[in-house]
């Protein structure tokens, strides 16, 4: 008995996202059950194949919980997700987040090009986006994404900064455009608004394209 509760306490301490009465593995298993209704849009194991529906696989649990809470309390606005989040309790959110954090994100399919020009255009876009991701734009004070989202776009778990790697470019463009316009502003600090507002639409497209090609890394 003593041993068991010690293990629980330790698991809770390490992950920060386990409720008192459950082990991490129990939470993940429960989360799998609770996420059945998410599959139609977010895909099997959170690997959505539709460009407007974000992949949730391997996303940081803390970030996922924050977003679900924000959909529920209306600070992040999306009509579909508002209705869905309304039906989830705090424990549901934790279990579902632990489940998705435990999955492996699938890479985006290789791009198919009709011509050498098209391929060259794509490669230029990826190079420009990679430069912005790593270095930002000092003159215009666009912060380097790497500082918060990490060298492999794996995010930052303790800070609940999201992983971005292998996410659909279409969804990334939408997210950045929503930050830019102020439509998405569910955190007090509003860091992403301050950054996106300085980006041109071309830069948004370039960086989103680059991030979508970043592949899975163990982290
Ligand atoms: C009918 C489609 C649909 C279903 C079903 C659905 N979602 Fe979503 N979800 C969306 C869309 C669309 C977005 C993107 C919203 C936006 O653009 O801001 C989203 C966004 C999210 C996000 C934010 C991801 C991020 O990277 O910021 C989370 C978390 C999420 N959904 C969790 C869930 C969970 C958990 C379930 C099941 C309980 C679920 N969704 C079911 C359509 C759906
Ligand atoms: C100072 C830290 C910081 C920097 C620098 C930063 N981000 Fe973010 N980013 C965040 C945080 C925090 C969030 C989560 C915001 C929220 O919860 O609403 C986020 C969210 C995002 C999202 C939404 C992810 C999703 O799944 O919906 C995208 C896309 C994104 N950032 C792209 C970028 C890009 C591109 C850059 C570089 C040009 C960048 N970020 C630089 C902190 C940062």
174-195 residue pLDDT tens: 999 999 999 999 887 889 999 9
Residues with beta carbon inside 6 Å of ligand 2?
54, 66, 132, 142-143, 145, 147-149, 161-162, 164, 172, 175-176, 186-187, 191-192, 195, 207
Ligand 1 nearest atom to the CA of residue 85, by list position? 38
Taking the centre of ligand 2 as the mean of its atom positions, its distance from the CA of residue 98, in whole angstroms, is 21
Contacts (Cβ under 8 Å, ≥6 apart) of 9? none
Give the CA radius of gyration of the chain: 18
Higher pLDDT, 21 or 170: 170
| 3 token code pair | 């041993």
Taking the centre of ligand 2 as the mean of its atom positions, its distance from the CA of residue 4, in whole angstroms, is 38
Q: What is the pLDDT of residues 95-152, one digit of tens each?
A: 999 999 999 999 999 889 999 999 999 999 999 999 999 999 989 889 999 999 999 9
Taking the centre of ligand 2 as the mean of its atom positions, its distance from the CA of residue 112, in whole angstroms, is 28
**Residues 125/113, Cβ–Cβ less than 8 Å:** no
Q: Which residue has the tokens 């492996």?
A: 104
Q: Is pLDDT at 219 greater than 50 in this prediction? A: no
Taking the centre of ligand 2 as the mean of its atom positions, its distance from the CA of residue 182, in whole angstroms, is 14
- Give the C-alpha separation, 65 to 70, whole Å: 9
Mean pLDDT over each residue of the chain, to the nearest integer = 90
pLDDT score at 19: 64
pLDDT score at 215: 83
Ligand 1 nearest atom to the CA of residue 88, by list position? 38
Mutate to test the pocket of ligand 1, among 36, 42, 67, 77 (most ligand atoms within 8 A of CB): 42
Ligand having the closest approach to the CA of 141: 2
**Residues 28/65, Cβ–Cβ less than 8 Å:** no
Q: Is pLDDT at 20 greater than 80 in this prediction? A: no
| Arithmetic mean of pLDDT, 51-56 | 97
pLDDT grade for 217, boundaries at 50, 70 and 90: low
160-175: b or e for each residue (b if 16 or more CB lie within 10 Å)? bbbbbbbbbbebbbbb
The verdict on the CB of residue 148 being under 6 Å from ligand 1 is no
pLDDT score at 10: 44
Find, among 208, 137, 145, the residue nearest to 174 by Cα: 208
Q: Whose CA is nearest to atom 33 of ligand 2?
A: 145
Q: Is pLDDT at 2 greater than 80 in this prediction? A: no
**Residues 60/157, Cβ–Cβ less than 8 Å:** yes
- Give the C-alpha separation, 198 to 180, whole Å: 8
Q: Is pLDDT at 14 greater than 70 in this prediction? A: no
Residue 64, CB-side half-sphere exposure with 13 Å CA sphere: 27
Q: What are phi and psi of 157, to 5 degrees?
A: -60, -55
pLDDT grade for 216, boundaries at 50, 70 and 90: low
Q: What is the pLDDT of residues 59-111, one digit of tens each?
A: 999 999 999 999 999 999 999 999 999 999 999 999 999 999 999 999 999 88
Q: Which residue has the tokens 């497209």?
A: 205
pLDDT score at 8: 45
Return contacts of 181-189, CB within 8 angstroms, 24+ apart. Answer: 183/77, 184/76, 184/77, 185/75, 186/66, 186/67, 186/70, 186/75, 186/76, 187/66
Taking the centre of ligand 2 as the mean of its atom positions, its distance from the CA of residue 105, in whole angstroms, is 18
**Residues 96/38, Cβ–Cβ less than 8 Å:** yes
């Amino acid at each position: 008995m003593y041993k068991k509760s010690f293990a629980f306490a330790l698991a809770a301490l390490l992950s920060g996202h386990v409720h008192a009465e459950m082990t991490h593995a129990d939470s993940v298993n429960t989360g799998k059950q609770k996420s059945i209704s998410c599959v139609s849009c977010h895909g099997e194991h959170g690997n959505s194949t539709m460009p407007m529906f974000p992949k949730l696989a391997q996303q940081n649990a803390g970030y996922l919980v924050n977003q679900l809470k924000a959909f529920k309390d209306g600070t992040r606005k999306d009509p579909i997700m508002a209705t869905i989040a309304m039906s989830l309790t705090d424990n549901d959110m934790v279990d579902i987040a632990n489940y998705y954090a435990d999955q492996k994100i699938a890479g985006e399919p290789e791009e198919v090009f009709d011509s050498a020009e098209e391929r060259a255009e794509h490669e230029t876009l990826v190079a420009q986006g990679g430069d912005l991701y790593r270095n930002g734009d000092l003159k215009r004070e666009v912060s380097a994404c790497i500082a918060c989202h990490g060298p492999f776009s794996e995010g930052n778990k303790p800070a609940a900064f999201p992983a971005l790697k292998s996410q659909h470019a279409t969804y990334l463009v939408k997210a950045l455009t929503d930050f830019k316009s102020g439509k998405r502003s569910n955190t007090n600090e509003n860091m992403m608004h301050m950054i996106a507002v300085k980006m041109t639409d071309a830069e948004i497209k370039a960086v989103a394209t680059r991030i979508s090609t970043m592949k899975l890394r163990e982290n």
